[in-house]
């Protein structure tokens, strides 16, 4: 067994690198679409085989003003139509509109691996004349999922908990502004302790390269200036492959990802590509020189497990500590010490991480055995609205 194989995290990354087909540094972000698949077929490397059997669960939330291209991007990312019956309300209806929470689940299957993907859309966000309260239903939704998990975790049937917690939130920033708007700042400040926020600049094809550079810099400065904690890609270990380090570096320096979405196939130089056709040419969604779409998808797929772990170990633990504190204060009969010091919290978190690592080693061993048996079959994408 090689050194990287004895380290579960590294073996996982190795697997993911293969499936995300990111071949650095020569090819940078190559296009997994040429193989006609999204690239999560190696998720068994990340999760327990049993969970893979019943379907790997991931919840992605998309937030941003309407019209910024959220639905288009989500459909382009997962090669599926998540919103077949969508109705867009007229402006008059939007004036006093409250934010709705719209969760759609699709099952995507690739090489026999099922991904049960829930995309939580937030129509109406930023639409009303007075938007000061528009992130409250979103906070409520995230907390409700934590609450449900907490309830299920303390119940009898702990083995079969469905994890509906929000693992990642793509926050769409308008390309038309000069950086963040007050609503963007308020939202991120209110949500950064609850969910992994990944900021994206919408409709990047409306910006020149120079403008993209400028707006990215400005957004990062504003995020730092307001003390907002966005999702941080984990550091690649010192002894990690150079390719993986380079990939992490490139992904990190691309944040906030400037994306373009389209579900339309257009022929360019004899090849069908997803893109947007303009009188002056085609913007190719999956061309890394045109936008950060592939980087965003690589980030999401490569770090899916980390996004889940951070959700569990950090955001959920925060919620749990607060919740237990609250119920003790209000006379509840929870046994946990509500006055956990920072050090205790850190220790608890480390213990949880250790448990995760041990579980992962067991998973990897089981998975390696099964991989020896199974030969891969070609990828296939199926989806249905739930
Ligand atoms: P949502 O309301 O945020 O879900 O936005 P939609 O996905 O419905 O997109 C709104 C409009 O913007 C549609 O006409 C899309 O075709 C267009 N659109 C979506 N993505 C892009 C993009 O990346 N660039 C440009 N220029 N237009 C886009």
Half-sphere exposure in the Cβ direction for 177 (13 Å, CA): 16
Cα angle 304-306-312, degrees, rounded to a multiple of 5? 110
Q: How far apart are CA 341 and CA 348, in angstroms?
A: 11
* pTM of the shown model: 0.74
Q: Is the pLDDT of residue 152 over 70?
A: yes
Q: How far apart are CA 282 and CA 267, in angstroms?
A: 9
Instruction: Output the pLDDT for position 107.
Output: 80
Residue nearest atom 22 in ligand 1 by C-alpha distance: 203
Q: Is the pLDDT of residue 344 over 60?
A: yes
Q: Give percent of the chain with pLDDT exceeding 90.
A: 39
Q: How far is the CA of 70 from the centre of ligand 1 (A)?
A: 7
Closest residue by Cα to residue 246 from 74, 22, 54:
22
Closest atom of ligand 1 relative to the 86 alpha carbon: 8
Q: How far apart are CA 123 and CA 102, in angstroms?
A: 7
Closest atom of ligand 1 relative to the 285 alpha carbon: 23
Average pLDDT estimate for 316-323: 91
Q: Is the pLDDT of residue 263 over 60?
A: yes
Q: Is the pLDDT of residue 336 over 50?
A: no
Q: Is the pLDDT of residue 160 over 80?
A: no
Residue nearest atom 27 in ligand 1 by C-alpha distance: 203
Q: Is the dihedral of CA 350, 355, 356, 362 positive or negative?
A: positive
Average pLDDT estimate for 170-197: 94
Closest atom of ligand 1 relative to the 261 alpha carbon: 23
Closest atom of ligand 1 relative to the 262 alpha carbon: 20
- Report residues whose beta carbon is within 6 angstroms of any ligand 1 atom: 66-72, 203, 205-206, 260-261, 276
């Amino acid at each position: 067994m090689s050194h990287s194989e004895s380290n579960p995290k590294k073996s996982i990354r190795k697997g993911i690198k293969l499936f995300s087909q990111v071949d650095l540094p020569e090819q940078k972000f190559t296009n997994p679409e040429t193989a006609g698949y999204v690239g999560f077929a190696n998720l068994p490397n990340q999760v327990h085989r049993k969970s893979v059997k019943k379907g790997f669960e991931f919840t992605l939330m998309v937030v941003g003003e309407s019209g910024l291209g959220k639905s288009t991007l989500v459909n382009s990312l997962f090669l599926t139509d998540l919103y077949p019956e969508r109705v867009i309300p007229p402006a008059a209806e939007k004036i006093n509109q409250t934010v709705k929470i719209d969760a759609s689940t699709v099952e995507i299957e690739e090489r026999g691996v099922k991904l049960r993907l829930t995309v939580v859309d937030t129509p109406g966000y930023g639409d009303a004349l007075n938007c000061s309260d528009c992130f409250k239903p979103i906070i409520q939704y995230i907390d409700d999922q934590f609450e449900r998990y907490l309830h299920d975790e303390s119940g009898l049937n702990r083995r079969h908990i469905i994890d509906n917690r929000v693992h990642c939130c793509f926050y769409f920033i308008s390309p038309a502004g000069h950086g963040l708007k007050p609503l963007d700042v308020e939202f991120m400040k209110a949500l950064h302790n609850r969910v992994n926020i990944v900021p994206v600049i919408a409709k990047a094809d409306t910006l020149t390269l120079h403008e993209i550079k400028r707006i990215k810099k400005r957004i990062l400065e504003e995020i730092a200036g307001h003390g907002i904690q966005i999702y941080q890609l984990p550091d690649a270990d010192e002894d990690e492959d150079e390719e993986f380090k380079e990939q992490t570096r490139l992904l990190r320096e691309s944040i906030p990802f400037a994306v373009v979405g389209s579900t339309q196939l257009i022929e360019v130089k004899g090849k069908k590509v997803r893109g947007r056709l303009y009188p002056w040419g085609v913007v190719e969604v999956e061309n890394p020189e045109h936008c950060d779409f592939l980087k965003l998808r690589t980030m999401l797929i490569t770090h899916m497990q980390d996004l889940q772990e951070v959700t569990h170990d950090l955001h959920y633990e925060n919620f749990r500590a607060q919740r237990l504190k609250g119920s003790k204060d209000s006379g509840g009969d929870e046994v946990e010490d509500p006055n956990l010091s920072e050090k205790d919290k850190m220790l608890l978190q480390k213990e949880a991480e250790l448990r995760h690592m041990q579980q992962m080693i067991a998973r990897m061993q089981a998975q390696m055995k099964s991989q020896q048996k199974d030969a891969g079959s070609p990828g296939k994408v199926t989806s249905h609205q739930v």
